[in-house]
Amino acid sequence: MPQYPINIMKGLQKHSHKDREKIIKEIIPLIKKKFGKKLIALAAQASFVRNEDFDYSDLELIAFVRERPRGKNWTMGKIRNGLLVELIWATNDSYIKTVKEPNPDWFLSGSDKLLPLINKPFINRLNNYKVKNLKNKCYRQIIHYFGDLQESTAKVLNAIKKKNKLGIPLLLFDMCRYMLIILSFLNQEPYTTFAKSVEEAQKFKKKPPHFNDLLQIVIEGEYQNFNKLQKIVEQVFTEFEDIFDELGFDLYYDNIDPNKPMKRRV
C-alpha cells in the first residue's frame, strides 16, 4: 500500500450540529441588517433541518424578501473555519416556482422542508404547500428528460461495444442518474437527498422490473462484465419504454422535419 502524508485540510473542518446552531445565532442579526424591511422570513434547510448534518455538512439558509433586486446575485457562499455557509434569498413566488412546483430540479428540491428562524407562520405555509395536478406536471418532466436518458444509454452501449473499460464507469453512472431522475417524476416522489436516491428508488412501486438488478451491478462494481451489462441495460431501457407506452407517452417521431412542430404528449 502506498503511504500518503497526513495533511490537515483547511477548507474542510469537522463541525457539530451545535456548532451550526451557534453560527445561525451569529448570522441572524447580520441578515436582518443586510435586508432590513425587505426581509419577510428566514429559514434553515437541507441536512441541518433533518438533523442529519454530519462532520462535513454545509449550512444552508434561505432568506425570503419582498421583491427580487435586479442585476444582483441571489446567493452567498462563504467558507469559514472549514464550513461552507450558504445563504439564498428568494421571494414567496420564486421559491414555490423553483422548489415546490415540479421543474427539472424538483426530483431533489421537492422534498425540501424549512426550519423557521424568523416568521414561523410564513415558513409553515410554504412547508404545507400542495401541488395541483402533480401527476401531469411530473409527466411533463419525464418528457423533458427522456432525450437525456436515450443519449446516455446510447453512450453506455457504445462504450460496451468498444470495450472502453476506462470510460464505462462514468457513462454508466450518468445513465443511472437520468434513470433515477425519471423514476422520481414517474412516482411523483422527490428524493430526500441525492445520496439516498438509490435506496429510495429501490422502494418505488413504478419502475422497470429489472431496474434493481442494474443498480446491483453498479453498486457491486460488476460493470466490467460487458456481456451481462449490455443485456441488463437493453432490458431496463425497453422496460422504461413499455411503462411509457402504457401511460400513453408519445416520445418518438418518424418525421424529423425541423419546420414542423414537436408533438410530444402525455
pLDDT more than 70, % of the chain: 94
Contacts of 22 (CB under 8 A, 6+ apart): none
- Confidence class for position 7, pLDDT limits 50, 70, 90: low
pLDDT tens figures, 112-163: 999 999 999 999 999 999 999 999 999 999 999 999 999 999 999 999 999 9
Q: pLDDT tens digits for 28-55? A: 999 999 999 999 999 999 999 999 989 9
Buried b (16+ CB within 10 A) or exposed e, 101-110: bbbeebbbbb
Say what the pLDDT of residue 168 is: 94
pLDDT at 71: 63
Report the percent of the chain where pLDDT is more than 90: 78
State the pLDDT at residue 74. 82
Q: Which CATH superfamily is domain 134-247 in?
A: Nucleotidyltransferases  domain 2 (1.20.120.330)
Contacts by 180-183, CB closer than 8 A, 24 or more apart: 180/107, 181/107, 181/145, 182/142, 182/145, 182/146, 182/149, 182/240, 183/207, 183/211
Residue-wise pLDDT for 199-229, tens only, equals 999 999 999 999 999 999 999 988 888 999 9
Average pLDDT over residues 221-250: 93
Give the domain 17-127 fold: Beta Polymerase; domain 2 (3.30.460)
Q: Are 24 and 117 in contact (CB under 8 A)?
A: yes
- Among 179, 154, 171, 169, which residue's Cα sits nearest to residue 223? 169
pTM: 0.90
What is the spatial distance between Cα 53 and Cα 48, in angstroms, rounded to a whole number?
A: 5
Tell me the C-alpha distance between 21 and 44, whole Å: 10
Question: Residue ranges of the domains in the chain?
Answer: 17-127, 134-247
pLDDT at 231: 96
Query: Are the folds of 17-127 and 134-247 the same?
Result: no
21-25, 224-228, 259-263: which range is least confident on average? 259-263
Average pLDDT, the chain: 91
